[in-house]
Amino acid sequence: MRVGNTRVTLDTIIAGFKRGATAEELAQQYSAVSLEEVYAAISYYLSHRDEVEAYLGERRKQAFLLRQRIETEFDPQGIRDRLLARRAARDST
């Protein structure tokens, strides 16, 4: 779920809210979202907490499974080694 017509997700706003950020801080941090939209997202969360928590749990599960799949297909250690080698080569010139 996106907040308003932005790319900012409900997950992002609610995670910030749970960390103790105010609506004003969230609107400032994510400038694509208006203060009104942040308040609406928080209000929706507070009014539908069980449904939103279920949604967020499913999103976390999907993210975990996707990460596992990607790490199986593309060894992250190999990528890290290649990036470090590139950096070393660039820094030595």
Same domain, 39 and 2: yes
| C-alpha triplet 33, 31, 1: angle, nearest 5° | 35
Residue 13 lies in a domain: yes
CB 39 within 8 A of CB 21: no
| Domain co-membership, 35 together with 12 | yes
- pLDDT tens, position by position, 30-68: 999 999 999 999 999 999 999 999 999 999 999 999 999
20-30 mean pLDDT: 95
1-17 CB burial, b ≥16 within 10 A, e <16: eebeeeebbbbbbbebb
Q: Do 6 and 40 reside in the same domain of the chain?
A: yes
What local confidence, expressed as pLDDT, does residue 51 receive?
A: 95
More confident site: 18 or 78: 18
- For residue 85, give its domain range: 59-93
- pLDDT cut 90: percent of the chain above it: 73
Residue 62 pLDDT: 94
> 81 lies in a domain?
yes
